[in-house]
Amino acid sequence: MSDFTMTIDGNSIAGEHSFGVINPASGAVFAQAPECSRAQLDAAMDAAARAFRSWKQDVGARRAALVACADAIKERIGELAPILTQEQGKPLARATEELIGAAVWLQYTASLAIPLEVVQDDAKVRIEVRRRPYGVVGAITPWNFPVLLGVWKIAPALLAGNTLVLKPSPYTPLSTLKLGEILRDALPAGVLNVVSGNDQLGAWITAHPAVRKVSFTGSVATGKKVAAACAPDLKRMTLELGGNDAAIVLDDVDPQQVAEKLFWGAFANTGQICGAIKRLYVPERLEQPIVAALAAIAKGVKVGDGMQSDTQLGPLNNKMQFDRVNELVADAKKAGGRCVTGGAPRPGAGYFIPPTLVTGLAEGSRLVDEEQFGPALPIVTYRDVADAVARANGTMYGLSGSVWSSNLARATEVAGQLECGTAWVNQHLAIVPNAPFGGAKWSGIGVENGPWGLLGFTELQTVNIAKDPA
C-alpha cells in the first residue's frame, strides 16, 4: 500500500500496485508511491477532457485559482520540504527555496495577460488574432526540481485554459503527489490530475489520444522519443532538455571575485541542474589562481544528508546517476585529467560524490563532451577568446552559457556569440519567471516562462469578421 495517493478527477486515488522510493542519502527505500494503471490513466485523461469544457470559459476564475494554488503551497511548505529533501536529496533549505519559487511562479503567471490582437478594424472587416487553449496537456518532469518544474507547466497551462495530466519522475514522485493533494481544494475536479509510475507511464501519456500538447522536461535521449511519439498524432510539444553549458572566463577577471559564483553555478543542487556550468573555459594565464580559488571553496563545502541543517550539498539523486558520474570521472582520469578535489565517491551508504574539479582535459574526453549532470567540473584552458567561443559552441547542446569579465560591454558582446537559449554575463543560473528559458539545438524545442512560455500553451485563431452581411 502506498503512503501517497494520486489525484484523479479531484479524488485521492491509490494504486493497484506500488513502487519503492529511495532516499539517496541512505540508498534505502523510505516510502511507497502508487503505480498508475492504464485504466487509471484513461480515467485521468477523461477527467481532464471533461473539466476542459468549463475551465476554458473564465480566465478570471483561472487567475484566482492560480493565486489560491500559490497560497496553498506557501501554507504547506513545512510539510512538503522534508518530502522533497528525502526523495531528491537536496538540503532542506534548498527544498524550501524550490517551494517558495513554485509559489512565486504561480503568482507571477496569474498576472499575465492572454493577448487578443486586432490587426485590422475598418468599415468592412475586423480581424482578431486570438489565443485558444489546446485542451488536455500531458506534462512529464525529471527528478532534479520536481515541484518547481511541475509548476512551470501547471501555471501557464492552466492560465491559458488547458487542463493537465502530470507525471513526475519515478525517482521523485512523492512531492508532486503531495502537491496534487494540496491543490485539490484550490482547483475544480479534473483540472489538475497527478499520476505516478515508471517510464512506461510517460510513454502512455505521450501516445494518449486525449492529449493535444505534451510539455516535457528531461534528457535529450527521452526528448527524442517523446518527439517521435507525438509525431503520428501531430501533438504539439515543448521539450526542455539537457545541456552542456560552457562558462567562459575572460582574462580580465579577479579570480577571487568570481570564484564563489562560478562554484555554485556548477555545483548547486550537486550539479544536477540542466543549465549548470558543465564546462569551465579559463585563459591559460588564469588557470592556476582560478583552480586554487575554486578548490578552496570545494574543500570547505559540507556534503551530507539534506535533512542535517549544516549540509550544503546533498547526494546524487539516484544510483544510475551516481554510477554515471563516477564512470565519467574514472574516464577523465584515464584521459589524463587530474582531480584537484574530490575524484572518488564517499565510502558508505548513500550516493555521495564530493565536488570534483578536474584539470588537464580538452574536447574529446567524455567529461567535457557529455552532460555529466553531477558534481564533476572540467576546467579547460584556452588561448584566444574566439577559440573558446568556437569550442563552447562546438556541441549539439545549446541550453545556456555565461561569460565573465570586468568589462561588461566586452562580456556582453561575447555572450551574444554563444549558440544557446540563455546567455548570462557575470552570473549563471539566474533563471527568472519573466524571461523565456529554453534550449537551442538538441537542448529543446519551445520555451518556458514569461509571456512566451504562456503562449506555448495556446494556439492562434484568426477571427475575420465581415461587417457588411451583403
The answer to whether residue 241 forms part of the interface with ligand NAD (CB under 6 A) is yes
The only residue of 439, 446, 450, 456 in contact with ligand NAD, by rule CB under 6 A: 439
Residues 274-303 that bind ligand NAD (CB under 6 A): 274
Minimum CB–partner distance for residue 142 and ligand NAD (Å): 3
The only residue of 40, 176, 206, 238 in contact with ligand NAD, by rule CB under 6 A: 206
CB closer to ligand NAD out of 136 and 140: 140
Report d(CA 130, CA 266) in Å as an integer: 42
The answer to whether residue 189 forms part of the interface with ligand NAD (CB under 6 A) is no
Minimum CB–partner distance for residue 168 and ligand NAD (Å): 6
The 337-376 site mask, x for binding ligand NAD (CB under 6 A), equals ----------------------------------x-x---
Residue with cell 580580465: 252
State the DSSP string of 137-204: EEEE--SSSHHHHHHHHHHHHHHTT-EEEEE--TTS-HHHHHHHHHHTTTS-TTSEEE----HHHHHH
Minimum CB–partner distance for residue 402 and ligand NAD (Å): 16
Minimum CB–partner distance for residue 39 and ligand NAD (Å): 19
3-state secondary structure of 290: helix
The answer to whether residue 395 forms part of the interface with ligand NAD (CB under 6 A) is no
The answer to whether residue 33 forms part of the interface with ligand NAD (CB under 6 A) is no
Report d(CA 231, CA 463) in Å as an integer: 28
CB closer to ligand NAD out of 282 and 423: 423
Please report which helix (H) or strand (E) contains residue 128, including its range: strand 125-133
Report d(CA 459, CA 132) in Å as an integer: 5
The 133-152 site mask, x for binding ligand NAD (CB under 6 A), equals -------xxxxx----x---
The only residue of 11, 219, 393, 412 in contact with ligand NAD, by rule CB under 6 A: 219
Enzyme catalytic residues: 240, 274
The answer to whether residue 98 forms part of the interface with ligand NAD (CB under 6 A) is no
Q: Which residue is nearest to ligand NAD (CB)?
A: 202
Instruction: Please classify residue 146 by burial: count the beta carbons closer than 10 Å to its beta carbon, then call 0-12 exposed, 13-18 middle and 19+ buried.
Output: buried
Q: Give CA separation, 281 vs 294, 361, 382, 388, 418, in Å.
A: 13, 11, 7, 7, 13
CB closer to ligand NAD out of 283 and 446: 446
Q: Give CA separation, 75 vs 6, 120, 182, 247, in Å.
A: 21, 47, 10, 38
Residue with cell 479531484: 10
Minimum CB–partner distance for residue 173 and ligand NAD (Å): 9
Among 371, 367, 369, residue whose Cα is nearest residue 356:
367
CB closer to ligand NAD out of 198 and 393: 198
The answer to whether residue 270 forms part of the interface with ligand NAD (CB under 6 A) is no
Which residues bind to ligand NAD, rule: CB under 6 A?
A: 140-144, 149, 167, 169-170, 199, 202-203, 206, 217-219, 222, 225-226, 240-243, 274, 371, 373, 399, 439, 444
